[in-house]
Amino acid sequence: MSGPFADHAADLAALAQKARLRTLRPRDGVDFASNDYLGLAGDARLKQAIVEAMERGVPTGSGGSRLLRGNHEEHEALEAAAAHFFGSESALFFANGYGGNSALVATLPHKGDVVIYDRLIHASLHEGLRLTRADRAVAEHNDVQSYADAITRWRKNGGTGRVWIAVETLYSMDGDQAPLDDLMMLTDEHDGVLLVDEAHATGVFGDRGRGLAAHLQGRENLISLHTCGKALGGEGALVCASQTVKEFLVNRARGFIFSTAPSPLMAVVVGEALRICVDDPELRHQLQTLISHAEKALAPLGFAPTGSQIVPIILGEDGRTMAAADALQKAGFDIRGIRPPTVPVGTARLRLSLTLNATCDDVDALAENLGRVLS
């Protein structure tokens, strides 16, 4: 191919040769791929909340950024409800988790500070790290001593600013939990700030689904991000922090200032989802039952439990992983292959996501088919 995009075409061809070419696929088959953990995305209660909001005149679009005419009373009502629900002094509603995470890291740490981040942290935080003026240092996954060593090295090399530690509370591709209490102790020891991405824990873990860091909420040196497009069934993200942090983001976070505000209807949806988390704890119990059932069903295949709704089926080779995903999709299961650079080289996997869109019988059928595919 010739022309202005010849190098782009060559790059795509190289990805295809490595079995790493991404394509958009329609949703089809039993859901083992989404992050709709509580099955709320299609819940009638969220639909009814939208209908009632439209009947009382809530607009579909915001019409601009929050600092122009885009700020709506539904945004502010959600932020007040979220602060109360999560136990923070304040909350700020972003259009999505990617924008919220990248804005936090790009905006809050100052030049002369350092951000110590987990090697497996979300791509959105890496985007913020690319933009930050602070120093950066990587820590080995869930290794508290590695964080401590990184801080020590930074101080020895002349670092004098504030320490920021960035983690996911539940890792999106491995399904394991961060050692939050130990990391909080390390943060306190260095007069730092702990940034926690609760994306995959919100709605699933903690009292009323408040997340894995719920017992730490209210601390001035804790900032948490809760995405609304996973277990909460909507879109957007809520940054929970002190009022000072909220005001600073409103004034300095370019990803907030220059973005069109989320639809006020989506603020209504998220607010209703938070009420469901309080009023319907049975959803979390059902999901935990499904998780336990899946652990038993997959044990004969040699896959270790993670204790969460995310179960990585690590196959290693990219081609083998995508062939397995294709075979399972043809058998009626929507499960996706995950390859580098999303995960480290040599750890390509099927990401089994357990949601209330599937049943225990569906899990048994998947395990049976998975055994045949991998044999």
Domains of the chain, each with CATH number or no CATH: 25-42+281-374 (3.90.1150.10), 58-279 (3.40.640.10)
pLDDT of 1: 67
Q: What is the pTM for the complete model shown?
A: 0.94
CB 165 within 8 A of CB 147: yes
User: Encoding tokens for residue 347?
Assistant: 């750890």
pLDDT of 184: 98
User: Which pairs with CB-CB distance under 8 Å and at least 24 residues apart come from 10-19?
Assistant: 18/318, 19/318, 19/319, 19/321, 19/322, 19/339
The sign of the dihedral angle between the CA atoms of 247, 110, 171, 186 is: negative
- Angle of CA points 343, 345, 349, to nearest 5°: 55
CB 231 within 8 A of CB 41: no
Residue 231, CA distances (Å) to 28, 119, 167, 209, 252 in order: 20, 25, 19, 9, 29
- Angle of CA points 36, 37, 43, to nearest 5°: 60
pLDDT of 22: 87
The sign of the dihedral angle between the CA atoms of 180, 172, 205, 368 is: negative
| CA-based nearest residue to 104, from 182, 30, 167 | 167
Residue 188, CA distances (Å) to 1, 150, 182, 351 in order: 57, 16, 10, 35
SS3 (DSSP) at 331: coil
Tell me the Ramachandran region of residue 191: left when phi exceeds 0, alpha when psi lies from -120 to 50, beta otherwise: left
Residue reference for tokens 């704890």: 281
What are the catalytic residues? 35, 122, 168, 172, 197, 200, 230
How far is CA 257 from its chain centroid?
Answer: 22
Q: Which residues of 132-159 are buried (b: 16+ CB within 10 A; e: fewer)?
A: bebbbbbbebbebebbbebbeebeeeeb
pLDDT of 25: 83
pLDDT of 28: 87
| Residues of the chain below pLDDT 50 | none
